[in-house]
Structure 1
Amino acid sequence: MPATLSGQLVVAISSRALFDFEAENGVFEAEDDHAYMALQQRLLDEPARPGVAFSLVQKLLGFNAGGPPLVEVVVLSRNDPISGLRVFRSARHYGLPIERGVFTRGASPWRYLKPLSAQLFLSANEADVRQALAAGVAAARVMPHAARASCEHPDELRIAFDGDAVLFSDEAEQVFQRDGLAAFQAHESTRAHQPLPAGPFKPVLQALHRLQQSPGLRIRTALVTARSAPAHERAIRTLMDWQIGVDEAMFLGGLAKGEFLREFEPDFFFDDQAGHVESAAAHVPAGQVAMGIAAL
């Protein structure tokens, strides 16, 4: 029988999200793919440095130790197959048990997300991220310049999410963008007991919730949102309706998120708004969910 990834959290990740290929990418942008391929071939025996999502992947794969596989990480990359050799060699160097990869040499790889049954896609390419989101897969454009994850929690995976347009739909955000803060607060107050529609990252939070039920797995999640009281209630009641809890919730009322995330020390933070992602990236690994009215 063919192999199956059924029942696992499947994460697809690009080469530049997993490893620091920024210098090599500079060659690609300044010259052409042939120069890039030649450089990667010369560097085959030199492990690439960890990239912005390295810690997230390393900890997720750590959940497979000593039992049936719970997480599958697949490299899904615009890189060419020769450069893919370096990706696999680098993964082996760091002890990452990554066995599957799709390399498309410049073509958009998002169409392979469906046969992979991927629930999350991380890439440095905004167009690929937008196509994945349009296809119904949670996706984020990683910030290659973002700070790397803290080493203070080696045995605990920490992930932080924005609310509107990430965990939830951007229904309420549309009201804010169109009519302002007062209208947004009134809209959310009158609908406090009405769950928000799901956003693209609800399935990811659900998958993490299931993993949390496994003995010995330490996962800590946080909701980090620009909402404040009274709009906070609808967000919490929505999570209650989904029967999913988060460990921490920060209702910041428009304060910059970066310093709060610095204290939480996530392995990754997901937000739809570029300004919040830039604020976060100064302190923690971060990516933009390029979807919703505020991300246009």
Structure 2
Amino acid sequence: MVSTVQNPDVRQKDVERAVVVAVTTSAVFDSAAGEDEVHGGGAALPLLQALQKVNERLLEKNPAESLLFDVMLITTNSQQQQQSSRIISSTRHYGLEVSRFCFSSEEDFTENLVKNNVQLFLSTDRNEALQASHRGVLSALLDQQTASCPAEQLRVLFCGDTVTQPATGPTPASRQAAQGFSAQLGEMRRKFDSFDSPLSIILLTSRGGRDSCGRALRTLRSRGVGVDEAYCLAGAPQGPIVSVLQPHFTLSDGFCETEE
């Protein structure tokens, strides 16, 4: 059984142009925290605030802008579904611009992602991310580090030579979805100046040297994606630099080949 509820507090986005991002409710809210009718904030709360900041800045530049993030919360936990009013109240409490709430079974949630033309699915559950990826929906895994990311700037990390999230190689459909999403992201980024942008795109290559990084840069540029920062680790561990960069999520679907 799938139920989708539109949020009457939010102006609905242009279905032809909006970039639909689905985030699991359990990643956004901590059902074990909070009080009364409001959940505590979860790991993905700064992420939603950063997505919203990009929208706000785009609309400041052009009130008629239609290329905006369209956020949907999806709930597959049956216990959370019984608290749907609390989820909606929590969204209102934090001032989150969520267009739709989807309540779905674990078996049917990927069907709903496809039905709603979701371009990016974000979850703290690796199995959910894998299921979505297998249906051709670009997916990324969130972790607790997301909770410390900035709320004023969306930071997206492209990992140019590894496949780490999800943990299996991309399907042709998910690769195509990744290319489409990166092109939309690049178009958004071009609407802002080099400095003081609410959206930052970062490239990281783990293996190889400057040639590997250069190939990854050229791949992104061929898709209209400009990069704000680029790092070539040449075999060094990712952990230290990633903790400093604080990306909200990492796209590592094998979108560019850097093998010799």
Q: What TM-score does the superposition give when structure 2 sets the normalisation length?
A: 0.73
Counterpart residue number, 1:120: 120
Q: Which segment drifts farther, 208-217 or 251-260?
A: 208-217
Q: How far is the alpha carbon of 1:64 from its aligned partner?
A: 3.2
Q: How far is the alpha carbon of 1:200 from its aligned partner?
A: 5.2
Q: Which has the higher contact order (CA 8 A, sep 6+)?
A: 2
The alignment status of 1:78 with 2:97, answered yes or no, reads no
Q: How far is the alpha carbon of 1:249 from its aligned partner?
A: 1.2
Q: 1:214 to 1:6 in 2, by over 3 A?
A: same
Counterpart residue number, 2:154: 157
Q: How far is the alpha carbon of 1:14 from its aligned partner?
A: 0.7
Matched AA of 2:155: R
SS in 2 for 1:121: strand
Counterpart residue number, 1:213: 190
Distance 1:258 1:79 in 2: 31
Overall identity of the aligned pairs, in %: 29
The alignment status of 1:133 with 2:133, answered yes or no, reads yes
Distance 1:71 1:62 in 2: 10
Q: Assess if the C-alpha contact under 8 Å between 1:126 and 1:141 holds in 2.
A: yes
The alignment status of 1:222 with 2:202, answered yes or no, reads yes
Q: Assess if the C-alpha contact under 8 Å between 1:53 and 1:268 holds in 2.
A: no
Q: 1:255 to 1:48 in 2, by over 3 A?
A: farther
Q: Assess if the C-alpha contact under 8 Å between 1:227 and 1:254 holds in 2.
A: yes
Query: Over residues 76-117 of structure 1, what are the superposed CA-to-partner deviations in whole Å (9 max), with x where a residue is unaligned?
Result: 120343222222111111000213111124444111112211
Distance 1:3 1:200 in 2: 20
Q: Assess if the C-alpha contact under 8 Å between 1:149 and 1:266 holds in 2.
A: no
Matched AA of 1:156: Q
Distance 2:216 2:199 in 1: 21
Q: How far is the alpha carbon of 1:60 from its aligned partner?
A: 1.0
Task: Return the structure number with greater strand share.
Answer: 2
Distance 2:105 2:184 in 1: 31
Counterpart residue number, 1:45: 36
Count of residues paired in the alignment = 224
Q: What TM-score does the superposition give when structure 1 sets the normalisation length?
A: 0.65
Q: 1:121 to 1:245 in 2, by over 3 A?
A: same
Distance 1:262 1:130 in 2: 24
Gaps of 5+ in 2: 1-11, 255-260
Q: 1:3 to 1:92 in 2, by over 3 A?
A: closer
Q: 1:271 to 1:19 in 2, by over 3 A?
A: farther
SS in 1 for 2:237: coil
Query: Over residues 106-135 of structure 1, what are the superposed CA-to-partner deviations in whole Å (9 max), with x where a residue is unaligned?
Result: 444111112211100012333322221122
Q: 1:46 to 1:257 in 2, by over 3 A?
A: farther
User: How is 1:1-296 mapped onto 2 (pairs within 5 angstroms)?
Assistant: 5-21=15-31, 23=32, 45-65=36-56, 66=59, 67=63, 68=65, 70-80=68-78, 81-143=81-143, 145-146=144-145, 148-151=147-150, 154-164=151-161, 198=175, 201-215=178-192, 218-229=198-209, 230-271=211-252
Distance 2:96 2:135 in 1: 28
Gaps of 5+ in 1: 25-42, 174-196, 273-288, 290-296
Task: Return the structure number with greater helix share.
Answer: 1
Distance 1:97 1:240 in 2: 31
Distance 1:198 1:111 in 2: 18
Q: Which segment drifts farther, 218-227 or 123-132?
A: 123-132
Name which one, 1 or 2, has greater alpha-carbon Rg: 1
Q: How far is the alpha carbon of 1:199 from its aligned partner?
A: 6.7
Query: Over residues 6-36 of structure 1, what are the superposed CA-to-partner deviations in whole Å (9 max), with x where a residue is unaligned?
Result: 2001001111121234x48xxxxxxxxxxxx
Distance 1:78 1:164 in 2: 32
Q: How far is the alpha carbon of 1:215 from its aligned partner?
A: 4.8
Distance 2:111 2:44 in 1: 22
Counterpart residue number, 2:4: none
SS in 2 for 1:136: coil
Distance 2:118 2:37 in 1: 29
Provide the alpha-carbon RMSD of the alignment.
Answer: 3.2
Q: 1:7 to 1:199 in 2, by over 3 A?
A: closer
Q: Assess if the C-alpha contact under 8 Å between 2:53 and 2:153 holds in 1.
A: no
